[in-house]
Amino acid sequence: MGSHYDAEVIVVGAGPVGLTAGCALRHHGVNCLILEERTEVRAYSRANNLWARPQELLASVGLRDAIAEHAYPVRLVNFFMNGTATTPIRIDDVTSPHPQVLYSRQDVIETTLIETYGERGGRMQRGGKVVSVAQDGDGVTVTVRRGDDGPEERLRCRYLIAVDGAKSTVRPLLDLDFEPERFEGRMNRQVDAKLSWRPSLEPDQLWFFYCERGFCGVMPVWGGYHRLFFLADDAGVPDRDPTLDEIQAVAREVTGDETLTLTDPQWLTHSRFQYGVSPGYARGRVFLAGDAGHLSLPIGGQGMNAGLHDAVEIAWRLAAVLRGEAAPVVLESYDAERGGEHAKLSEQQAKGFRRTVYRGPVTDAALGLADKVVPGIGALLQGTDDLQQLSVSYPKSPLNEDHLSGVTHLLQRGPKAGERVPRGRGNGQRPDDVALPVHLQSGRRHDGLGLGVLRRADPGSRRFAARRH
């Protein structure tokens, strides 16, 4: 195979995760090309929230602030159980430089990332579908077809990242496909629309209503809109997108607010529930990220956020290997770290989903007393008490070499290898240079320290550490 490459890395998919991967690669100086089958950005929003940890990751590659300019910071969650309010929960009470959850719109996020990607010199091709992927010892050959019977083009890269969604065309080509688990008898119906109701319309709050038949959420969407969704029993519900009047009637019933009115709908949709994780996140020189590697349940808004971890994590690895600063084990660790984390998240979500939409008297009683007897309501409702994803860690990563584990255990303080390190100063450098949690957590670790501390201050130390692994 010849040595010509059209790009060092090709990214298949221009959703939020694929665009983040492209921007992160350009941030690290990698020659990158994004391929996207769609000819333009979708005009409606699927994922729309960013938790604290993904914001830290975005900040580490210079993306967070631009997105935050078109997002609402949310600080409070209001819960109602069969019409009775429980104590509101502050979700910004976490140790992070970005404690407030951001709510925007997926199309707005994509547009912002596209602009940044272009400003960083990134290239993109739209309107072509990947139909084959072939690997050899030097790189990857990607065949792209224009239209159903259009011409084919072959592109060459050293590595490929597949971020082409839940219906990925690349994943089955790698023999990494999977059969998802399904939840029967339940359906989601939702709308993005203008909202008028008795409670506050300030976009700094979320509202969740647990009712006899299921679960309803109300959350802000950028541009003065709100999203209302209903996860509920599908008995007697038409298997189609709802009408605005149907959604409004259900919303009035669930919230108990007969004045609730919806206008100017941007998106009406319905869906069934399935989840699963690919048996692997890497195959040779090809890596999966985002929905291409997992099907996420719509609970806790974790799907896109988990994908952003993938994007930033694979980008720095590829950059380090391409620059000759890291050994292949750094790339190999991506599968172990991110694949393992997705499997864990999938199990947590399934547990939370069952508790939310297959509830019984015991769960309802616990929910009714949540503000008194449940320290973290997220653990009961969502399957985890860390929706902000700050506890994401890789204790079994092949990159870990923790010679201080015994000391940290005895002292009961300090992070262990593979854990996120809180923000702080070091070596007299600016905090943003040395102490972003993603840098400390990024994976090149030895002696219990995250080598991200040295990432900008001492490149020589980085290269030495990479060779050790």
Structural tokens at position 84: 């009775």
Q: How confident is the model at residue 353 (pLDDT cuts 50, 70, 90)?
A: confident
Q: Which residue would you say has higher pLDDT here, 279 or 345?
A: 279
* Backbone phi and psi for residue 176, each to the nearest 5 degrees, phi listed first: -120, 15
Interatomic CA distance for residues 96 and 436, integer angstroms? 10
**260 has pLDDT over 90:** yes
Q: By percentage, how much of the chain surpasses pLDDT 70?
A: 80
**116 has pLDDT over 70:** yes
Q: By percentage, how much of the chain surpasses pLDDT 90?
A: 57
Q: How confident is the model at residue 371 (pLDDT cuts 50, 70, 90)?
A: very low
The pTM score is 0.86
Residue type present at position 75: R
**pLDDT tens track for 375-408:** 445 545 554 556 788 878 887 788 877 666 665 5
Query: Would strands 49-50 and 205-211 be described as parallel, antiparallel, or unpaired?
Result: unpaired
**296 has pLDDT over 90:** no
Interatomic CA distance for residues 422 and 406, integer angstroms? 20
Strand partners, 263: 194
Going by C-alpha positions, the residue among 222, 226, 164, 223 that lies closest to residue 200 is 226
Strand partners, 419: none
**417 has pLDDT over 50:** yes
CA distances from 96 to 50, 421, 438 (A): 13, 11, 11
Q: What is the pLDDT of residue 443?
A: 36
**pLDDT tens track for 442-457:** 333 333 233 433 333 2
Q: How confident is the model at residue 31 (pLDDT cuts 50, 70, 90)?
A: very high
**225 has pLDDT over 90:** yes
Residues recorded for the chain:
469
* Structural domains of the chain, ranges and CATH numbers in brackets: 7-179+276-350 (3.50.50.60), 187-274 (3.30.70.2450), 394-469 (no CATH)
Going by C-alpha positions, the residue among 13, 343, 372 that lies closest to residue 164 is 13
Give Cβ neighbours of residue 244 (< 8 Å, ≥ 6 apart): 191, 193, 262, 265, 268
Give Cβ neighbours of residue 236 (< 8 Å, ≥ 6 apart): none
CA distances from 463 to 114, 444, 459 (A): 32, 10, 6
**368 has pLDDT over 90:** no
Q: How confident is the model at residue 3 (pLDDT cuts 50, 70, 90)?
A: low
